[in-house]
Structure 1
Amino acid sequence: MTLTMVGDIGGTNARFALWRDERIESVRTLPAADFATPELAIEHYLSSLGLSSGDLSSLCLGCAGPVSGEDFRFTNNHWTLNRSAFRRALGLDNLLLINDFTAMALGMTRLREDGRIQICPGASEPGNPSLVIGPGTGLGVSTLVPDGGDRWRVLPGEGGHVDLPVGSLREAALWQQLFADLGHVRAEDVLSGSGLVRLYRAVCTLDGHAPHLGTPAEISTAALAGDPVAVEVLSLFCIWLGRVAGNGVLTTGARGGVYIVGGVIPRFAAFFQSSGFASSLCSKGCMSHYLNGVPVWLVTAEYPGLEGAGVALQQALEPAAA
């Protein structure tokens, strides 16, 4: 038996699946803290299916953190990996390690209509890049580029660490408050789970409110229940995401569309749809017309990272046509 397997490993959980006939199957989620090494987690996954590492030939892992060299340390968990030792331990013929947001971007090529919600209408321009952006633990940003035929490549980067853009006097006042606390204000400092809490505290400090909400879930729940401070905070979050995404489209020429990914925005999808995101995305002065007609989708698919890892492995194992 020759098996191909994919994984999507974050700070808390490791998701694994078999990749067979160009689709994922037998998806399992395992807490990283339960296993001393990624090898043990993979062996446990295979054992749960009545399989062993001897059945496995090829593996692609999407890993949180910069991927380069022989040794890799996972971001926000205790796992480390040496490529050569890892391959020997599992008896692999092929091992592919990619950044988790590269896997996420490639997963956009596998989306079905029921796995996304259209936020801004428009038509993708064939042959042009697409922007993939997602608030979560941090702010991930990648550019998905058509590479001829049915192949794709991803331009990874650190777009979550760009300076936070300012587009109004209210935002400028909040930026000053954030700057007083942080010294340098990145997009990720607002557009992430912890960033939502930081933005809430900045609004409270600026307006003289006593903060009583302490988690992203509490803030979004209060906003959906009509709490006026939480409503403004969540509105500003959506507006700032639009500004950063619009900057990304201008920078990369991403007229193929924008994909909003990650677990944060789907929790308040209806609020997001009616927020100022769309107007702030296109509010670029003399270049506002460039953003008009660029489609934007909110991704609700369950396992785009695993799907993308499968695409990456398939492309690596199947040479491009001459």
Structure 2
Amino acid sequence: MNEISHLHAGGPRLLADIGGTNCRFALERGPGQLEGVEILPCAAYATLGDAMRTYLASPTVQALTASPIRHAALAIANPVTGDYVRMTNHHWEFSTEALRIECGFEILLVVNDFSALARSLPHLGEHKRQVGGGVPQPDTALGLIGAGTGLGVSGLIPCASSWTALRSEGGHVSFAPINDDEIAILQFAWREYDHVSFERFLSGAGVELIYRALADRAGSPNERLSAAEISRRALSGECPLCDDVLEAFCGMLGTVAGNLAVTLGAQGGIYIGGGIVPRLGARFDRSSFRRRFEQKGRFVHYLTAVPTYVITAEYPAFVGVSAILSEKLSD
């Protein structure tokens, strides 16, 4: 089979992953064939349309295609409930239809980034790492959770020959401590917040909050460390307190991931994305995450059979928006 038969009939497709700090763009010439990946800082552009048109006019894109891009799909770190999107973590706001016309697309899809990430799960192949035991059961739900700027949660439900991604805000469920350390951390957080969700701890800002709480409990000086510095010191072995912070983080994540598994009946597995966990490597694998995931009393045997995976794909959102766009074009 020649190369042309592997190309999209309608020409290359634009895929985008829009966050609060950076926007990532790529062209997909055929199924799974990503080229011309570029990362542009959001702050450098007045509007999303400006950033998209800059990418489309770049020498990279011009070298890859001689004709205008007809079809595009973007994942955005924001709820998407209609035509108008106003970002919560950046000043951009836009009408999807107006953006489609501005950039000259025939079809433009805009979806929530965690919905897109959820849709990528069946297509990850080898781009995931299993933590602990368990075997996925066919034709069952998949769960997704990811800590980064916030705590994203979604699920993927089998639907005929396809899947339905859940639009969830599960990161905002109330935090539930399971030991004395976590009770102390929660009590510390109550000094600042009336409602303490799992996202308060399972995020970049949450790592810093856990650090302040544990430093306060130990009577240690609070150095006001950033999440990145806490992780660096923990992974280098130079700061036992920072390592305690990561251990608490991983245990809390295990609890909420187990909650998601029993809530969805996610016997197909729970997937861990976001920007924090993939960077922890082997430290995450040997943490209390998996033990806490299974720690559900009478349901320990149920959860022992559910596999947990860390997503290792470099650009998993592209995989998801590609699948969503392909389904739209095949309708």
> Shorter chain as normaliser: what TM range?
over 0.9
Greater RCO, 1 or 2 (C-alpha within 8 Å, sep 6+): 1
State the AA in 2 paired with 1:90.
Answer: C
Q: Is the 8 A contact 2:11 2:29 kept in 1?
A: no
**TM-score, length-scaled by structure 2:** 0.92
Q: Does 1:5 align with 2:18?
A: no
| C-alpha distance after superposition, 1:7-59 (max 9, x if no partner) | 11000111111123212222111111111121221111111121799712111
Q: Does 1:216 align with 2:189?
A: no
Corresponding residue number in structure 2 for 1:126: 138
**TM-score, length-scaled by structure 1:** 0.94
Identify if the C-alpha distance between structure 1 residues 32 and 173 changes in structure 2 by more than 3 Å, giving closer, same or farther: same
User: Within 5 Å, which residues of 2 pair with 1:180-195?
Assistant: 180-195=191-206
Alignment counterpart, residue 100 of structure 1, candidates 107, 113, 124: 113
Corresponding residue number in structure 1 for 2:158: 146
Alignment counterpart, residue 35 of structure 1, candidates 45, 48, 58: 45
Separation in structure 2 between the aligned mates of residue 143 and residue 4 of structure 1, nearest angstrom: 26
Q: Is the 8 A contact 1:71 1:81 kept in 2?
A: yes
State the AA in 1 paired with 2:319.
Answer: E
User: What is the total number of aligned residue pairs between the two structures?
Assistant: 317
Q: Does 1:109 align with 2:122?
A: yes
Could you list the structure 1 runs, at least 4 aligned residues long, displaced by more than 6 angstroms after superposition. 51-54
Q: Does 1:72 align with 2:90?
A: no
| C-alpha distance after superposition, 1:58-100 (max 9, x if no partner) | 1111011110222111232221111221122122221211001
State the AA in 2 paired with 1:20.
Answer: R
Separation in structure 2 between the aligned mates of residue 310 and residue 105 of structure 1, nearest angstrom: 12
Corresponding residue number in structure 1 for 2:6: none
Corresponding residue number in structure 2 for 1:63: 76
Q: Is the 8 A contact 1:246 1:281 kept in 2?
A: yes
Q: CA deviation at 1:200?
A: 0.4
Q: CA deviation at 1:101?
A: 0.7
Unaligned runs of 5+ in 2: 1-9
Which one is further off, 304-313 or 86-95?
Answer: 86-95
Q: Is the 8 A contact 1:62 1:98 kept in 2?
A: yes
Which one is further off, 225-234 or 155-164?
Answer: 225-234
* Seq. identity, %: 40
Q: Aligned to 2:105, what secondary structure does the other structure show?
A: coil
Which one is further off, 133-142 or 286-295?
Answer: 286-295
Q: Is the 8 A contact 2:184 2:213 kept in 1?
A: no
Alignment counterpart, residue 280 of structure 1, candidates 292, 298, 313: 292
Q: Is the 8 A contact 2:133 2:304 kept in 1?
A: no
Q: Aligned to 2:49, what secondary structure does the other structure show?
A: helix
Separation in structure 2 between the aligned mates of residue 280 and residue 174 of structure 1, nearest angstrom: 17
Q: Is the 8 A contact 1:135 1:264 kept in 2?
A: yes
Corresponding residue number in structure 2 for 1:292: 304
Unaligned runs of 5+ in 1: none
Q: Is the 8 A contact 1:54 1:90 kept in 2?
A: no
Q: Does 1:165 align with 2:165?
A: no
Separation in structure 2 between the aligned mates of residue 152 and residue 16 of structure 1, nearest angstrom: 25
Corresponding residue number in structure 2 for 1:233: 245
Separation in structure 1 between the aligned mates of residue 83 and residue 165 of structure 2, nearest angstrom: 21
Corresponding residue number in structure 2 for 1:135: 147
Q: Aligned to 2:97, what secondary structure does the other structure show?
A: helix
Separation in structure 2 between the aligned mates of residue 288 and residue 123 of structure 1, nearest angstrom: 15
Q: Does 1:312 align with 2:312?
A: no
Q: Aligned to 2:252, what secondary structure does the other structure show?
A: helix
Q: Does 1:47 align with 2:62?
A: no
Q: Does 1:257 align with 2:269?
A: yes
